[in-house]
Amino acid sequence: MSPLYEDEASLSVERRIADRAAALDGCLFEKFPLWRHSRQTQIEGQFRKEWSGRLVKLVEVKDRKHRIGEYETLIIDEEKLKTGLVWASLCREPFHVIIQWENCCGSVEVTKERFREWRSAKGGREDRGDAHDIDVVKHIPCRLFRILWKGWVYA
């Protein structure tokens, strides 16, 4: 948890998104322990597993404060995707990014091939005035996301 920007409320929203997405597949979500994804930060990963306890998918869950379609692409930290791909390779399971927008929730599988195809650029948030918010990001085309549900996670 980033002490500057993540709090119990934001983590609760991400957990609710994860739980609802898992329920669609008849699975459970559990947190991975902390792992280092770059020199500056650590992240908590999440993985999806079946009721039997077998790992079936690794995921990164995000909440965005705009509607899908407002931007052509979703930007996400490149290092986060690299780390997810490493874990997916080690676990021999797929890696997905799940995004809850204001109007829907979508999922996209991250593969090595797609990672190479997606545009990299310097980017990120500038509204908080934090230099760590700007880094190399990947641009994932929003058209690639499979819509899991319409509306907000609480709907």
| Residues 6 or more apart in contact with residue 117 via CB below 8 angstroms | none
CA angle at residue 29 from 26 to 34, to 5 degrees? Answer: 160
> Tens of pLDDT along 28-85?
887 765 544 444 434 444 444 445 567 788 899 999 999 999 999 999 999 999 988 9
CATH architecture of 8-150: 3-Layer(aba) Sandwich (3.40)
In the 8-state DSSP scheme, what is residue 145? P
> Tens of pLDDT along 114-152?
999 999 999 877 777 777 778 899 999 999 999 999 998
Percent of the chain with pLDDT over 90: 45
